[in-house]
Amino acid sequence: MIKFRYIYSNGKGIKVFFYTLVEVENFVVYDDLMQKVPDGFKLISRDRFTGLKDINKTDIFERDITKFNNKSLLIEFRDTHACFSAVEKVNGALDLHYNLRKDMAENRLEVVSNTHIEMLRVERE
């Protein structure tokens, strides 16, 4: 199923909504904007669903932060390979990319956060 995670923030808090492609095409997102998103909140991210679940059966979206063999990996879409990958940030000059596969996700990956929650934590400190 094709779906998206929409993340809104006012700089202090985050509101998260999930929509299928059909809901987006039928303008459900826009109707919800008027009813569910408080004043002062702005769209900060539209994240694509990878089609995979982690070891806890949690949906994995791009920009999620996952744990894999005690390593922190960021989920990204790689345009050059037209696939999602789990990226290990080694240092400023080197990133290790692992192609995101179903067996890897279901047996070893765990979603622990996403980049937007982490950015909000840093801003509060």
Tokens of 1: 């199923």
For 3-124, the fitting CATH number among 2.10.240.10, 1.10.8.350, 3.40.50.300, 2.30.30.290 is 2.30.30.290
* Overall residue count recorded for the chain in this entry: 125
36, with CB counted inside 10 A (0-12, 13-18, 19+), is exposed
Tokens of 16: 């998260």
What value does the mean pLDDT take over residues 105-116?
A: 88
| pTM of the model as a whole | 0.84
Domain boundaries, the chain: 3-124
**pLDDT (tens digit per residue) in 40-85:** 999 889 999 999 999 999 999 999 999 988 888 999 998 888 999 9
Residue 27 pLDDT: 86
With cut-offs at 50, 70 and 90, classify the pLDDT of residue 121.
low
**pLDDT (tens digit per residue) in 74-96:** 999 988 889 999 999 877 667 88
Between 36-40, 50-54, 108-112, the lowest mean confidence (pLDDT) is in 36-40
CA distances from 100 to 90, 96, 97 (A): 18, 12, 9
